[in-house]
Amino acid sequence: MVDAESSDQFPGDFDGMGRLWTPHRMVYLNKETGETGCPFCTAPTRSDEDGLIVARGEMAYVIMNLYPYNSGHLMICPNRHVATYDQATESEVAEIGLLTQIAMRVLTEATGCVGFNLGMNQGEVAGAGIAEHLHQHIVPRWQNDANFFPIIAQTKALPRLLGDMRDLLARHWPAES
């Protein structure tokens, strides 16, 4: 349950900002998952549905981002626990690249997106939320997908649930990949 609360109820100067309380994110922010080990090493041990995995390759896999910037926000992770791109083998780099290409095609076909943001944050200082395990972000974009919510209300509206989006993309993923 997400609760919204106006800041006019608090002591101090009214700043006009609403507060969207998301206590479930403390697990991510505090890195207290209740599980031991790396979440990108744990996810592949679960079923695709429970792990939010869209597709698996030989050396890497495609997973939904638990805290997406847009609906369909995917990540490509190597199976092997390595922290940075330069530690990946040539074969891992090649498969990450191939899965990225396929993911872009699948997202375009399944969602009608018209652009992408691709990126890797290497190290905690560079913004990696999970710096210990390499992962590449694929964020689908649509014309005018940034509405007033993030700017005015500091809130992101996501029209599809993670499980529904995982199911949609998994259905569109080619069998021969």
User: Three-class SS of residue 64?
Assistant: strand
| C-alpha of 62 from chain center | 10
| C-alpha of 60 from chain center | 15
User: Three-class SS of residue 125?
Assistant: helix
Q: Which of these is catalytic: 73, 81, 133, 135?
A: 135
135 catalytic residue (yes or no): yes
Q: From residue 115, how far is each of 107, 108, 111 by CA, in Å?
A: 10, 8, 11
Is-contact 133 123, C-beta < 8 A? Answer: no
d(CA 65, CA 49): 13
The catalytic site residues sit at 135
